[in-house]
Structure 1
Amino acid sequence: MARKIRPVSFDLEDPFEKELNDHASKYKFSVYVKRLIQRDKENSFPTFNRGQIQSEEDFSEALEDYM
């Protein structure tokens, strides 16, 4: 069986990236990322830019709206 591992890094000194890491840590990371990719592939995942999300609360609200 062939597997491809793709690491993702988070800058824990950047508040935005730290919040993303903290949020993703609540889930099985590999499964979580694969589901996000699947939704993006199906063109149903919203596009966010860094200016739209300033806090973990903003991210959580956006994610809840999406789900």
Structure 2
Amino acid sequence: MNKFQKIACKIAKDDLKKDLYKNQTLKKRARFCYSVFNREKTKWPYEKCVDFKNWSKTQSW
């Protein structure tokens, strides 16, 4: 796993604890998060991904 995949997996684990994402699997959610980071490489540097992970963890959807 590269560092972006690890962040995507952590975001997916945090998201699955929220009611909004209860019906998704960890694998599906992690792939979606990673695809967003991978598709927009210039807009999502590593530091911004880490900041987003930390911000997303504290949000309640």
Q: Please state which band the TM-score falls in when normalised by the shorter chain.
A: 0.3 to 0.5
Higher share of residues assigned helix: 2
If the length of structure 2 is used for normalisation, what is the TM-score?
0.38
Q: Which has the higher contact order (CA 8 A, sep 6+)?
A: 2
Q: Which has the larger radius of gyration?
A: 1
If the length of structure 1 is used for normalisation, what is the TM-score?
0.35
